[in-house]
Amino acid sequence: MLREAFPCLHQQVNGKDLVYFDNAATAMRPQVVIDAVNDYYCHNNANIHRGVHCLSGRATDLYEQARGSLARLINAPSPDNLIFVRGCTEGVNLVAQTFVRERLQPGDEILISHLEHHSNIVPWQILCQQTGARLKVIPMNERGELVLDQLDELMTERTKFMSVIHVSNALGTINPVKELVAKAHAKDIPVMVDGAQATPHLKVDVQDIGCDFYTVSGHKMYGPTGSGVLYGKATHLESMPPYHGGGEMISKVTFEETVYNKVPAKFEAGTPNIAGGIGLGAAAEFILDVGIEAIAEREDVLKLYTEQALKTVKGLRILGEAAHKSPVFSFLIDGIHPHDIGTIIDHHGVAIRTGHHCTMPIFQFFDVPGSCRASLAFYNTEQEVDILVESLNQAKAMFS
């Protein structure tokens, strides 16, 4: 059973079998990812690209093979379209400062949505402060879906860029990113898609989506923390200046001038997270081997089961019930603070996330400070959902 591939799942917390429903914050790692990282440090520990000795060559091959695996996972035209980054946050900041900034004049506009994670809000606010541009927001409705009938009005001749999340980490909403990209491109507006919550759950095809940039977070898709990739169209990457300066991103340096390296090395200054990149490649291969279609099918079953089970808890309110969503449930229980719920059910071995989930504007919309969030992955079970519901009912009983 694939669940057996994840060693961290098989332990007890507070004397109870662990029930891990915090996958949107970080997913578990399969043994093949752990082994890939361990094997690098045990057998291939060397710096990459700049060595002629055996270990350096092996490490370089593994690192670049990982780039190829990730390119296959998201159907990038070439591995050279992928830049290794620390995660989606760095990917967004890189695009903001190297692609978008030079295109902005005071009064220009950047378009995001109400569903964004803080990492796809704050970099654009910083950029607006630097350039005099304005941030505009696609609104959402009570179901947690974007109000797209206002999109044409929001996109004006001053709109220079759009950045939208693929899947909401707080509500699970799956945005129609292909439609959003098409509408923006019809008005010559480049688009970045934040795919942090998409690659573990959905088939991602950047060529089909048509986006200009796409960010991937490693630790959300069963890979190491501090790893990720940024996909960019080749013409954009070639035209963009480097984000960091240092070793590896150069082809020639004198005291008079520097000639930058080719893409993607131009954006990968210094010694990278080699083990993390190799581990992320192993995670991509794991998803490809299992099959994202099989993962999505299993999660659809779990999603329906969880929704029905949660609705049996009296006084429980699910925030955001989009027609298309991933297995993420933000909820409140009348009269009980989310932190109290999270603390109580932890004593039953159940791990959920409580708070605003780095999406404060979403909870401002619902006029609540935060929520409980149960986020599932394909390795979770219906029995674990039953334990969650039982623990929630016991938390209710304590406060009644």
Helix axes 382-399, 292-310, angle to 10 degrees: 30
Q: For 2-22+292-399, CATH number? A: 3.90.1150.10
pLDDT value at residue 261: 87
Asked if 326 and 202 count as a contact pair (C-beta separation under 8 A), the reply is: yes
The domain ranges of the chain are 2-22+292-399, 32-289
Q: Which amino acid is at 61?
A: D
pLDDT exceeds cutoff 90 at 97: yes
If you search the block for the tokens 């190799």, which residue do you land on?
A: 278
Cis peptide upstream of residue 123 (ω within 30 degrees of 0):
no
Mean pLDDT across the stretch 211-215? 98
31-40, 167-176, 247-256: the lowest-pLDDT one: 247-256
Reported pTM: 0.96
User: What is the pLDDT confidence band of residue 251, given thresholds at 50, 70 and 90?
Assistant: confident
Structure tokens at 109: 């506009």
Q: 32 to each of 17, 62, 284, how far by Cα in Å?
A: 23, 14, 11
Q: Give percent of the chain above pLDDT 70.
A: 100
Residue 51: predicted pLDDT? 80
Assess whether 358 carries a catalytic annotation.
yes
Q: Quote the distance between the C-alpha of residue 290 and its chain's center.
A: 20
pLDDT value for 259: 87
- Supply the pLDDT for residue 1: 60
Confidence label for 63 from pLDDT (cuts 50, 70 and 90): very high
Across the range 234-260, mean pLDDT stands at 90
The residues that bridge with 146 in the sheet, in sequence order, are 140
CA dist list (Å): 169 to 3, 25, 33, 292, 320: 23, 8, 23, 19, 12
What is residue 230's three-state secondary structure? Answer: strand
CATH topology of domain 32-289: Aspartate Aminotransferase; domain 2 (3.40.640)
Q: Which of 326, 361, 318 is nearest to 115 (CA)?
A: 361
Which residue among the candidates 8, 88, 358, 372 is catalytic per the annotation? 358
Predicted confidence at residue 247, as pLDDT, reads: 83
Mean pLDDT calculated for residue range 205-211? 98
Note the pLDDT of residue 249.
87
